[in-house]
Chains A and B, each alone.
Chain A
Amino acid sequence: MAGDPTKVDPIHQFHINTLIPIEVGGYDISFTNSSLLMVISVVLAGGFLFLATSSRGIVPGRAQSISEILYEFIASMLRDSAGSQGMKFFPFVFTLFMFILVANLLGMFPYFITVTSHLIVTAALAIVVFLMVLIAGLWRNGLGFFKLFVPSGIPVVLLPLVVAIEVISFLTRPISHSVRLFANMLAGHITLKVFSGFVVSLTSMGAVGFVGAILPLGMAVGLTALEFLIAFLQAYVFAMLTCIYINDAIHPGH
Chain B
Amino acid sequence: MFVAKAYAEETGGHASTEGDAHTAGTEVPHGGAAQASFPPFDSSTFPSQLLWLAITFGLFYLFLQKVVLPRIGAIFETRSDRIAQDLDQAARMRDEADEAIAAYEQELADAKSKANEIGQQARDNAKAEAEAERKAAEAELESKLEGSAAQIEKIKDAAMSEIGTIAEDTASTIIEALTGGKTTKAEIQAAVSRARN
- The chain A residues found within 8 Å of chain B, CB to CB, are 1-5, 7-9, 11-12, 14-18, 22, 27-32, 34-35, 38-39, 41-42, 45-46, 49-50, 53, 56-58, 60, 64, 67-68, 71, 90-92, 94-95, 98-99, 115, 117-121, 124-125, 182, 186
CB <8 Å contact, A3 and B19: yes
**Given A27-B47, A124-B53, residue A186 in contact with residue B40 (CB < 8 A):** yes
Within the assembled complex, what's the spacing in Å between the Cα atoms of A99 and B18? Answer: 30
CB <8 Å contact, A95 and B27: no
B47 to chain A, nearest CB (A): 4
- Choose among B10, B48, B60 the residue that contacts A16 (Cβ–Cβ < 8 A): B48
Within the assembled complex, what's the spacing in Å between the Cα atoms of A30 and B28? Answer: 12
Q: Which of B123-157 contact A (CB under 8 A)?
A: none
SS class, residues of chain A in contact with chain B = helix
A253 to chain B, nearest CB (A): 30
CB <8 Å contact, A92 and B20: no
Name the B residues within 8 Å of A121 (CB-CB). 49, 53
**Given A58-B78, A95-B60, A99-B57, residue A12 in contact with residue B52 (CB < 8 A):** no
CB <8 Å contact, A32 and B48: yes
Name the A residues within 8 Å of B29 (CB-CB). 18, 28, 30
B74 close to chain A: CB less than 8 A = yes
Name the B residues within 8 Å of A8 (CB-CB). 18
CB <8 Å contact, B75 and A38: no
Name the A residues within 8 Å of B104 (CB-CB). none
Within the assembled complex, what's the spacing in Å between the Cα atoms of A182 and B59? Answer: 23
Q: Which of B56-87 contact A (CB under 8 A)?
A: 56-57, 59-61, 63-65, 67-69, 71-76, 78-79, 82
CB <8 Å contact, A49 and B25: no
B46 close to chain A: CB less than 8 A = yes
Q: Which of B1-32 contact A (CB under 8 A)?
A: 10, 15, 17-21, 24-27, 29-30
SS class, residues of chain B in contact with chain A = helix
B50 close to chain A: CB less than 8 A = yes
User: Please, how many residues of chain B have a CB less than 8 angstroms from a CB on the other chain?
Assistant: 49
**Given A7-B18, A15-B25, A182-B40, residue A28 in contact with residue B47 (CB < 8 A):** yes
Within the assembled complex, what's the spacing in Å between the Cα atoms of A71 and B74? Answer: 12
CB <8 Å contact, B21 and A119: no
Chain B: CB-nearest residue to A91: B65
**Given A14-B40, A95-B60, residue A56 in contact with residue B82 (CB < 8 A):** no
B106 close to chain A: CB less than 8 A = no
CB <8 Å contact, A38 and B72: no
Name the B residues within 8 Å of A31 (CB-CB). 48, 52
- Max chain B CB contacts within 10 Å: which of A2, A41, A182? A2
CB <8 Å contact, B76 and A68: yes
Chain B: CB-nearest residue to A17: B27
Within the assembled complex, what's the spacing in Å between the Cα atoms of A224 and B42? Answer: 27
**Given A2-B19, A8-B18, A16-B45, residue A46 in contact with residue B68 (CB < 8 A):** yes
**Given A12-B25, A14-B40, residue A56 in contact with residue B71 (CB < 8 A):** yes
- Residue-wise, chain B 154-181 has the 8 Å CB interface mask toward A (1 for contact) of 0000000000000000000000000000
Within the assembled complex, what's the spacing in Å between the Cα atoms of A252 and B52? Answer: 34
Within the assembled complex, what's the spacing in Å between the Cα atoms of A14 and B64? Answer: 29
Name the B residues within 8 Å of A49 (CB-CB). 64, 68, 72
CB <8 Å contact, A53 and B17: no
**Given A3-B20, A14-B40, A29-B51, residue A45 in contact with residue B72 (CB < 8 A):** no
Within the assembled complex, what's the spacing in Å between the Cα atoms of A92 and B59? Answer: 12
Within the assembled complex, what's the spacing in Å between the Cα atoms of A91 and B29? Answer: 37
CB <8 Å contact, A29 and B60: no
